[in-house]
Structure 1
Amino acid sequence: MTVDVAGLAGALDGNAALQRRARLAALAFAVRADTAETTVRIGERVTVSSGRAGDAAFTLVASAAAWQAFASAVPAVGYQSLVGMQRMGHLRVEGDVLAWGRHMLFLEQLFATLRPSAAPAVAAAVGTPFIEPVVGRYLRLDLDGRPQRIYFEEAGPADGIPLLCLHTAGADGRQYRALLNDAEVTRRFRVIAFDLPWHGKSSPPAGFEAEAYRLTTDLYVDTVMAVSRALGLERPAVMGCSIGGRAVLHLALRHGGHFRAAIGLQSATHAEAGADPRLRDLGVLFRPDIHGQEAAAGTVACLIAPTSPAADRWETLWHYMQGGPAVFMGDLHYYFGEGDLRNTDLAGLDDKCPLYLLTGEYDLSATPELTAELARATGARHFEVMKGMGHFPMSENPAAFRGYLLPVLDRIAAEG
């Protein structure tokens, strides 16, 4: 085996969170590289032994070359995580896939210790206490005949160019925290980020306990338009990521004249489910025997670039860990199915609404190839691959993201 799996034995050292999780895991699994097999047993300690034990719940199977690519300091696209390798077909899970799904995020942390040690994340000192220039409010409105209480945050001048920001599936408007605090942006733009109903601080509507949440195209578009009109936004620009990146396309198709521009982050006509869809199909995101929100974070961790700052990467995952039960799964109904645009004529969409597309190179879902295809189909006036970024550019690496976004905002402001 080209990767020293025995190194997992020290993975718990100095990490109280991993130590606590390991004590509760009581898990044995095997790792196979070509024909060599190793058993990893997790409890008070992590122990590694040669061969496959009979009580191993599952086996992680990959070539020796694939394991070596995973363990490199900066993994190539598709090798940045275990689930990423699974999605791309570089890794196969044999055995109890639910046991694998139950421990995904924990095992991602465990195996990441096989890579060369990175400098620990140290946040910059705040210094003198200050209040951020971000204002949070609640908007009351009726949406499709139901009263809603929608939370939004904003920053920037009241007469600035409105920039309406749409978060990703299962998350909320906190993903735009850095943009809301960027003085260069808020000098000209009124940045507004709201939480969809059922997300973040926007509670579900009355009677939610008797229904199963599912996001549809009509519901998404109607919600964005209702918020925009209720806030009195005149010719706003709209920017969305992931499901939001799909939504900006539906908004441009149906209401292109309402928006001065649409910025699609990780936009594509459809999403790639990956080589092994069992985690989604088996419902690990909503099972009584699995922490659904930790599983949600585990499924999206593979979409984050390995070079993204640790603090920003983990804050992005924290938002996923806090979502409501099955809300992420309800959003995926739109993302993987109902909101699919492959059979829609997108020719000339940029003429209806100026379209700017930015996609991270490490995204395994809305890949750069899919966004390039979208750019050709729509005639988008701008398409760029963001190097060293993944599926959540505005939250996983906001400092690098602004270098790609600011020129786009300059063009939008100049073109009126």
Structure 2
Amino acid sequence: MSFEPIIGRYLTVTVEGAPRRIYVEEAGQGRPVICLHTAGADTRQWRHLMCDAEITKDHRLIAFDMPWHGKSLPPEGFETEEYLLTTDSYIETVLAVMNGMGLEKPILAGCSMGGRIALQMAALHADAFSGFVAIEASDFQAAWYDIDWFHRPDGHGGEMGAALVSTNISPYAPNEERWNTLWMFMQSGPGVFRGDLSFYTQDDSLIGRLGDIDTAKTPVHLIVGAYDFTCTPEDAKRTADAITGATLSVMDEVGHFPMSEHPKGFRPFFVDALKRMI
């Protein structure tokens, strides 16, 4: 019996003029890598990589729960407002955590909505980072579903969310990890998945900023799963092609949540991505 190497703490930062108590986990030493979770989930998606001694011997992996997610409570007065994630508040939160932890030019790795914001950071705040790994990410994905279904009085939003994302998990994913991944969505707070998807499916501002990304200064690498139909390989390729110098890898046996649904299948692609960073 032994403890895992992951250490969790709380960091209070200011976002949108108000305090945010953020739950942060980290493991390892060396180059800092900020790891962003997907919509409706939390840092548990990154636990396998954070427990990988070969990766953490040279990299300090840092994952945090966005406000409203996991162990990060909503801000005071949340009961009087509608949660809708925006690009500006997302960027401000990431930068606040980075600065609050005193991180010098970390690598930023994000999946799904985290990958989208990593590309926004590459366009708007490249100087603050040493590289970007955008996983299951593209310039824009319009919803093919009604996001209001995830916050209704006649249905459990978390279970509805899990039902939706279950179709985006690869058939090659180990059954245990498939259900561990779905459990995170089942636990999502009321309206949180809907609020994240509002950002993911309605904010198309990245499209006009792709040309501002300078990969000669800060590398950008995209990774996408062949079984991801929310962000397909074609979507990721379209985005990579619009970024001069960006690179792309396609994972044959992985879906939309690679680090949690199929950690062994994702690992070599993540290791390769880290090697591509400056």
Name the TM tier (shorter chain): over 0.9
Is 1:390 matched with 2:262? no
Q: Secondary structure at the match of 1:351?
A: coil
State the secondary structure of the residue aligned to 1:350.
coil
Residue type of the partner of 2:164?
T
- Choose 1 or 2 for highest CA Rg: 1
Structure 1 residue 144 and structure 2 residue 16: aligned?
yes
- The correspondence of residues 98-117 of structure 1 with structure 2, limited to 5 A, is none
Of 193, 200, 222, 1:357 maps to 222
Post-superposition Cα deviations, 1:35-73, rounded to whole Å, max 9, x if no partner, equal: xxxxxxxxxxxxxxxxxxxxxxxxxxxxxxxxxxxxxxx
User: Judging changes above 3 Å, is the alpha-carbon distance between structure 1 residues 380 and 195 closer, same or farther for their aligned structure 2 residues?
Assistant: farther
Which position in structure 1 is the counterpart of 2:155?
Answer: 290
Do 2:142 and 2:202's aligned partners in 1 also have CA atoms closer than 8 Å? no
1:342-383 deviation per Cα after TM superposition (whole angstroms, max 9, x unaligned): 343425532352101110001011110011111111024421
User: TM-score normalized by structure 1?
Assistant: 0.65
In 2: Cα distance, 1:374 partner to 1:380 partner: 11
The structure 2 residue matched to 1:315, chosen from 158, 162, 180, is 180
- In structure 2, give the amino acid aligned to 1:141: V
Residue aligned with 2:209, SS:
coil
Partner of 2:89: 219
Question: In 2, are the aligned partners of 1:269 and 1:374 still within 8 Å (CA)?
Answer: yes
Q: Secondary structure at the match of 2:237?
A: helix
The 8 Å contact of residues 246 and 339 in structure 1, kept in 2 or not, is answered as no
Residue 130 (str. 1) matches residue 8 (str. 2): no
- Aligned with 1:253 (options 123, 126, 129): 123
- Would the aligned equivalents of 1:347 and 1:379 in 2 still touch at CA under 8 Å? no
1:194 to 64, 89, 101: 64
SS at match of 2:102: coil
Q: Distance in 2 between matches of 1:298 and 1:354?
A: 35
> Match for 1:342 among 188, 195, 207?
207
- The answer on whether the counterparts of 1:303 and 1:364 sit within 8 Å (CA) in structure 2 is yes
Q: In the alignment, does 2:164 pair up with 1:299?
A: yes
Equivalent residue for 1:89?
none
Equivalent position of 1:154 in the other structure: 26
Provide the rounded CA distance (Å) in 1 between the counterparts of 2:240 and 2:140.
Answer: 13
Gap change, CA 1:339 and 1:180, over 3 Å in 2: farther
2:190 matches 1:325? yes
Cα drift, residue 307 of structure 1:
1.1
Number of positions where the alignment pairs a residue of Structure 1 with one of Structure 2 = 278
Task: Tell me if the contact between 2:115 and 2:134 (Cα under 8 Å) persists in the aligned partners.
Answer: yes
Moved over 3 A (4+): none
TM superposition shift of 1:321 = 0.3
Shift of 1:231: 0.2
Query: Where in structure 1 are there 5+ consecutive unaligned residues?
Result: 1-128
For residues 391-410 of structure 1, what are the structure 2 equivalents within 5 Å?
Answer: 391-410=256-275
Q: CA deviation at 1:224?
A: 0.2
Q: Tell whether the 8 Å contact from 1:285 to 1:329 is kept in structure 2 after alignment.
A: yes
On the 8 A contact 2:45/2:259 being kept in 1, the answer is yes
The 1-side partners of 2:268 and 2:209 are apart by 32
- CA RMSD, 1 decimal: 1.3
TM-score by length of 2: 0.97
3-state secondary structure, aligned to 1:364: coil
SS of equivalent to 2:125: helix
1:373 pairs with 2:238: yes
**2:91/2:121 contact within 8 Å kept:** yes
The answer as to whether partners of 2:133 and 2:220 remain within 8 angstroms in 1 is yes
SS in 2 for 1:344: helix
Structure 2 residues without counterparts, runs of 5 or longer: none
CA contact 2:123–2:212 (8 Å) conserved in 1 = no
The 2-side partners of 1:299 and 1:320 are apart by 10
Q: In the alignment, is residue 263 of structure 1 matched against residue 133 of structure 2?
A: yes
